[in-house]
């Protein structure tokens, strides 16, 4: 589905990002993995290479403009183009506005919103030179329906939804599609980190997370397949939308 394409995936060393990197590579894309976790990211790149595909780890703090610019430039230099951007990197801090520190507010906004802006800023001109492309911004079910003790996270993901819509309008004439993927609870380290932040046992927290019509949480691979749809020509007339993949949680 992605033969001849070049994809850049932030947060590609683990979780949904790792699953997407491996899947996109199997589908024919050359994949640049952006992450600050060098050891884990290098392992993913090696796994891609071992399967006969092209993968590259670029160590990058996605909240830094200079590093984002350099990462995009290196991707284009190594793979001769850029067609897909998956803004997957994200963090969560579980707290109310009263309990949340200013530093944590700024960190969540930087990673979840500012990084999305920065990578798009430097990627769009390269995509335009390639004749178009697809940008996938990572939202959340809580971008559309808020949850408790997650004020900064909900605000950041709501901002990503609106940023996606604005970008779809602006970049549409360049044949660049921009969509927002909104997963429900997914079996990742970040989900377990939420339990620790809330002071809950992991087993109790995960038991609560399955309270949805399908009675389970998602696997990273299931969310990656939704990202593949948005990255590929199968969604050629889809832009400016939010794709909810949450096992019926919002229903």
- Cα–Cα distances in Å, from 111 out to 24, 196, 249? 23, 20, 25
**DSSP result, 172-201:** GGGTEEEEEEEE-SBSSHHHHHHHHHHT--
Q: How far apart are CA 151 and CA 146, in angstroms?
A: 8
176: nearest Cα among 222, 108, 130, 113: 130
Taking domain 6-184+220-245, whether its CATH number is 3.40.50.720 is answered by yes
136: nearest Cα among 47, 59, 29: 29
**Ranges of each domain in the chain:** 6-184+220-245
Predicted local confidence at residue 208, as pLDDT: 87
Catalytic residue among 153, 185, 223, 246: 153
153 an active-site residue? yes
pLDDT digits (tens, 9 = 90+) for 60-118: 999 999 999 999 999 999 999 999 999 999 999 999 999 999 999 999 999 999 999 99
Residue 21 pLDDT grade (very low, low, confident, very high; cuts 50, 70, 90):
very high
**pTM of the complete model:** 0.97
Q: Is the pLDDT of residue 50 over 90?
A: yes
């Amino acid at each position: 589905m992605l033969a001849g394409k070049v994809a850049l995936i932030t947060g590609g060393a683990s979780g949904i990002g790792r699953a997407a990197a491996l899947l996109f590579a199997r589908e024919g894309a050359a994949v640049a993995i952006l992450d600050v976790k060098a050891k884990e990211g290098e392992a993913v790149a090696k796994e891609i290479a071992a399967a006969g595909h092209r993968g590259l780890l670029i160590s990058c703090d996605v909240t830094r403009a200079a590093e984002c610019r350099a990462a995009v430039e290196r991707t284009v230099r190594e793979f001769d183009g850029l067609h897909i951007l998956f803004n997957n990197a994200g963090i969560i801090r579980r707290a109310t506005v009263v309990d949340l520190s200013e530093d944590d507010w700024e960190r969540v906004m930087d990673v979840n919103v500012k990084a999305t802006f920065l990578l798009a800023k430097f990627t769009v001109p390269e995509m335009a030179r390639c004749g178009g492309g697809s940008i996938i911004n990572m939202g959340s079910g809580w971008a559309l329906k808020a949850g408790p003790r997650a004020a900064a996270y909900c605000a950041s993901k709501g901002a990503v939804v609106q940023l996606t819509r604005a970008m779809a309008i602006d970049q549409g004439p360049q044949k660049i599609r921009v969509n927002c993927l909104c997963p429900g609870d997914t079996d990742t380290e970040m989900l377990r980190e939420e339990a620790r932040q809330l002071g809950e046992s992991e087993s109790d927290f995960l038991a609560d997370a399955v309270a949805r019509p399908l009675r389970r949480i998602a696997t990273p691979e299931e969310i990656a397949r939704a990202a593949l749809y948005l990255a590929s020509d199968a969604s050629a007339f889809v832009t400016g939308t939010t794709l909810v993949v949450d096992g019926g949680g919002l229903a």
